[in-house]
Structure 1
Amino acid sequence: MKQLKKILVECAHLFPVPLYANEGKKTEKYIMNVAPEKLRAMVTLTGDSIIHADISFKLARPPHQQQKTFINQDSPWKLQQVQDAANHLQQAINHIDDVDATYHFKTSDEVMNVVGNILEALQRARTSLVIPKKKPIADLIKSRNMKSLAPNLSEDLAVSFYLQSHKLIMAVYQLITVQGSMRFDSCQAEATVQWLNDVMPLLCAGLKLCQQLKDKISVFSVYKDFTVESRSPSALSY
């Protein structure tokens, strides 16, 4: 487990929020834009929150004016994905810490249970960053984060910030009526987030290591007389 814990602690120390002796609160700035004047944002990200953003985009409805709005430090936009992933990573490390260094596993089921818990926590951490939770446009418009925008947008407009793998993505949704039917127009811009670029490979390495250990124990446990003490020297070398 030592090698696995080393990977996970290194991963934890890269997160921009307090996690496993990491103080977090890193600040990064991004410029996000699409085409001339269609969508542009200057974003400051600290920890798990956008503390400042200067946003402008072109309205889809005539006369296609530029819409401007801002996020300021008094009312930050929270990226819940960051804290969710951090919580799951902390759980994975806790599962390792819960096993005393001097403890000797007696059965394969014991090992499988611990490794399974770690694997599930890491999968949840990765999923939090890779697969953002999608919301209907109506829910986005009414979301708490939309109240961070000043001036507030009209009820046919919505802005969304989310993480997807190693990128910060900003999307603008506009409800428009065409020949009596309503549809929405969308546009998005993205920026590469360096700490995510560093975190994702470590999460994948941790998942791979867990899966390898689980597979090895599964192979050995098919033998009825298997105990952890009877394993091959490399079976638990993780």
Structure 2
Amino acid sequence: MGDSDRGELAVLQQELDWVLSEEVPRVFTQVMQVLKECCTHFPVPLCGNDTAIKHEKFIMSTAAHSTQDQVKCVVTVTGDTISQADINMKVAKHQNQVHRTSVTPEAPWRIQQIQDAGNFLQLSIQFLQGHGANNSFRTSSEVLNVLGQLIKLLQKGRSSLLIPRKKTIDELMSSRNMKSLTPPLPGDLAVSFYLQAHKLVLAVYHLSNAAGTMKFESVQAECAVPWLSPVLVCLTTALHLAHQLRDKISVFSQFKDFTPDSCSVSTISFEP
């Protein structure tokens, strides 16, 4: 290895030392601030915040250009549950009969996605605290390992709100929520509440048996939920910061003959 190569490697080592001693603690502190702000937007107390549980009332309806199937719902969301809902459905195959049913405060409908997202958010904060305030990093591989685990937690929290878990018709029909509707719906109708991005969605499924095969058609009513947008922005920002830092550290390993962890680097620590 020539002198110029050694000089280049020395410069790379200095740059990596700077990233580990300056950039890593700065970005981790930023991520922590974003995650704590995210907690303040949730409709339930999180991360030790004494936030009052939110009570929000929404009117859900099908799109104006929808078919003759119509769904309307006035829903009250309390924290992570639908505490009350009045649902009106007009399904064309039921000879234009209007079906009415309710979610009552005695049997609320739990929105598991809110609880899941909140749990992953708190796990992200606890993980960052446990691997930051009381730990120091000596190598780039240690930082990349922490970032990898943090990114997985953040992705799971974000996906909980963006992508509802698909349920089979059997799961819907036999769910505790369906059985607690008052009055009960006819056996060929099922309903489901779920979050998708910034919206709360009510899906109504009409089941039919065609030549022994169970099929279903669905129609949806929806409404925007104000707190979802800032929560998703916070989670997306935290992920972006973590990805950027991971990419910045990973780029050093692309240089020929430079193995970042072969040399000792500055020890760093940070306060969340």
Equivalent residue in structure 2 for 1:199, among 216, 219, 231? 231
Equivalent residue in structure 2 for 1:2, among 26, 29, 50? 29
Equivalent residue in structure 2 for 1:72, among 86, 91, 104? 104
CA contact (8 A) 1:52 1:73 kept: yes
1:13: which partner in 2? Answer: 40
% identical aligned pairs: 47
- Partner SS, residue 16 of structure 1: coil
CA contact (8 A) 2:138 2:267 kept: no
- Partner SS, residue 194 of structure 1: coil
Letter paired with 2:235: L
Query: Offset at 1:163?
Result: 0.3
- Partner SS, residue 64 of structure 1: coil
TM-score, normalised to structure 1, is: 0.90
Task: Report which of the two structures shows the higher radius of gyration computed on alpha carbons.
Answer: 2
Letter paired with 1:189: A
Q: Distance in 1 between matches of 2:166 and 2:52?
A: 27
Larger % of helix: which? 2
Q: Which moved more, 1:167-176 or 1:56-65?
A: 56-65
Letter paired with 2:241: L
1:152: which partner in 2? Answer: 184
Q: Which moved more, 1:15-24 or 1:50-59?
A: 15-24
Query: Offset at 1:226?
Result: 5.1
Query: Offset at 1:121?
Result: 0.4
Equivalent residue in structure 2 for 1:140, among 134, 155, 172? 172
Q: Distance in 2 between matches of 1:74 and 1:159?
A: 18
RMSD: 2.3
Larger % of strand: which? 1
Q: Distance in 2 between matches of 1:39 and 1:155?
A: 18
Query: Offset at 1:227?
Result: 4.6
Distance change (3 Å), C-alpha of 1:218 and 1:103: same
Say whether residues 1:229 and 2:229 are aligned partners. no
1:95: which partner in 2? Answer: 127
1:112: which partner in 2? Answer: 144
- Partner SS, residue 183 of structure 1: strand
Q: Distance in 1 between matches of 2:88 and 2:244?
A: 48
Distance change (3 Å), C-alpha of 1:178 and 1:66: farther
Distance change (3 Å), C-alpha of 1:61 and 1:229: same
CA contact (8 A) 2:164 2:194 kept: yes
Say whether residues 1:25 and 2:62 are aligned partners. no
Distance change (3 Å), C-alpha of 1:26 and 1:62: closer
Letter paired with 2:56: E
Query: Offset at 1:61?
Result: 2.4
CA contact (8 A) 1:96 1:118 kept: yes
TM-score, normalised to structure 2, is: 0.79
More contact order relative to length (CA 8 Å, sep ≥ 6): 2
Aligned length: 233
- Partner SS, residue 53 of structure 2: coil
- Partner SS, residue 92 of structure 2: coil
Query: Offset at 1:221?
Result: 4.4
Unaligned runs of at least 5 residues, structure 1: none
Report Cα offsets for 1:47-72 as digits up to 9, x if no partner: 11000000010133232200000011
Distance change (3 Å), C-alpha of 1:156 and 1:37: closer
